[in-house]
Amino acid sequence: MNINFKELANKYQTPYYVYDFDHITAQYEELKGAFKARKSLLAYAVKANSNLSVIKHLANLGAGADCVSIGEVKRALKVGIQPYKIIFSGVGKIDSEIKEALELGILMINVESAAELDRVEVIAKELGKVARISIRVNPNIDPQTHPYISTGLHENKFGVDIDTAKRMYIQCKNSDSLEPSGIHCHIGSQLTELEPIKESVKLVADLVRNLEAIKIDLSFFDVGGGLGIVYDDEKLIDTNEYAQSILEALFGLDITVVCEPGRFLVGNSGVFVTKVLYEKINGEKRFVIVDGAMNDLIRPSLYNAYHKIEVLNDNKELSDCNLVGPVCESGDFFAKNIDLPKTQHNDLVAIYSAGAYCFTMASNYNTRGKVAEIAVENGVDRIIRKRETFEDLIALEEEYIK
């Protein structure tokens, strides 16, 4: 990544997120290339980074979209992703969302419970539509990742067990308003072990064969997302081995592979850049206080997640500190007990691997406007989301003051 953080800070102020669009392209091409032996669709998991320009960049590369709200579906459509490349997942879809998805004619609704299938059937009937259905199977396999981002165990709320899935496909087959179209399985995020993926894909492929035997033919095999990235020193799953093991499990099946990567495509494209306000010592403890905070990037506070941090000054002498923001919570930190150089007011601090689940999880806590987002492509920078102003923050309340 060849980005001049100082120049961007002078031009756009801090804090900001910057995304390297060339990195996103390279990641997309790598994964798409790994599946070249088959028809495949990479449906970008919009929740990872839903900036319209990011989605548009992926759309231009040929990506579809995996969405978890009708808002995300509309973002994808807004930048020109065709409805036939859009999947709508999520355990709690609202009636109005199901209705809109059916009216928009997206590729599939990814159904996560028997009760939801009944709702979709009723709504499709009312609209006189046929809903293309994919069922999310929960294979009860431990993905060996952080418990908050593990989704493929029966103790997690996601998907249905294999027997329930089978019954639901039979319901689809027997209904005039439902069409069995795909099958889906996503066991977790930031996966660094191939074995659990292999195991679950095999299990789901067996179900596809069982369904074939009772004349239920599916068109799409959706392996979910989950490929991990390097935050620290993780050893990653090789994308070719990943694709290969999926294709092997699907041997003999005439089915299109769908994959829903989020973090893999955008995670390491992004850097959060913030600047030092003050240093202080409380008793023995040194604190470096920056202008970015947990409301901008919550992963360290929420998951104790590690993000590589670099102070952009020439000071080589390191000492222990906590890197914290201005928010009124002890949980407002980017790192605890980390060795950083002595800083001066206005020194910049880069927080890496901030392209996925960072801006999208930001809030306005403490009446802090969301920060600016910048794209760099072919060495040229451009703003892709303006910094929020105080006026933006009060816009929906102001008229109600009595």
Residues annotated as catalytic are 328
The first and second tokens of residue 270, run together, are 């992004």
64 binds ligand LLP (CB under 6 A): no
Q: Which is nearer to ligand LLP, 143 or 180 (CB)?
A: 143
The region of 31-39, 225-233, 284-292, 365-373 touching ligand LLP under the rule CB under 6 A is 225-233
261 binds ligand LLP (CB under 6 A): yes
Q: Closest separation between CB of residue 82 and ligand LLP, Å?
A: 19
Amino acid at 203: L
Exposure on the CB side of residue 239, measured as CA atoms within 13 A? 19
Q: Which is nearer to ligand LLP, 226 or 270 (CB)?
A: 226
Collect all residues with Cβ–Cβ distance below 8 Å to 7 and sequence separation of at least 6. Answer: none
Using CB under 6 A, pick the residue from 189, 200, 239, 268 that binds ligand LLP.
189
The reply to whether 38 sits in an annotated binding site is: no
* 11-43 residues labelled b (16+ CB within 10 A) or e (exposed): ebebbbbbbbbbbbbebbeebbebbeeeebbbb
Per-position x/- string for 332-371, each x denoting binding to ligand LLP as judged by CB under 6 A, each - no binding: ------------------------xx--------------
The reply to whether 263 sits in an annotated binding site is: yes
The reply to whether 299 sits in an annotated binding site is: yes
The one-character DSSP state at 3 is -
The reply to whether 267 sits in an annotated binding site is: no
270 binds ligand LLP (CB under 6 A): no
48 binds ligand LLP (CB under 6 A): yes
The reply to whether 7 sits in an annotated binding site is: no
φ and ψ of 128, to 5 deg: 70, 35
Whether the upstream peptide bond of residue 15 has omega within 30° of 0, thus cis, is yes
Furthest C-alpha separation in the chain: 72
Closest Cα to residue 16, out of 357, 349, 377, 326?
A: 349
Q: Could you tell me where the DSSP H helices lie in 267-389?
A: 299-303
Contacts of ligand LLP in 81-110 (CB under 6 A): 89
264 binds ligand LLP (CB under 6 A): yes
Residues 280, 23 contacting (CB under 8 angstroms): no
Amino acid at 231: Y
Per-position x/- string for 66-85, each x denoting binding to ligand LLP as judged by CB under 6 A, each - no binding: x-------------------
The reply to whether 100 sits in an annotated binding site is: no
> If DSSP codes are grouped into helix, strand and coil, which group holds residue 215?
coil
Contacts of ligand LLP in 144-173 (CB under 6 A): 149, 151
Q: Closest separation between CB of residue 145 and ligand LLP, Å?
A: 9
Helices 239-249, 21-34: crossing angle, 10 deg rounding: 40
> If DSSP codes are grouped into helix, strand and coil, which group holds residue 220?
strand
The first and second tokens of residue 246, run together, are 């999926």
Per-position x/- string for 300-339, each x denoting binding to ligand LLP as judged by CB under 6 A, each - no binding: ----------------------------------------
| Binding-site entries | 226, 260-263, 299, 303, 329, 357
| Binding-site entries for substrate | 263, 299, 303, 329, 357
| Binding-site entries for pyridoxal 5'-phosphate | 226, 260-263, 357
Q: Which residues bind ligand LLP (CB under 6 A)?
A: 45, 48, 66, 89, 149, 151, 186, 189-190, 224-227, 260-264, 299, 356-357
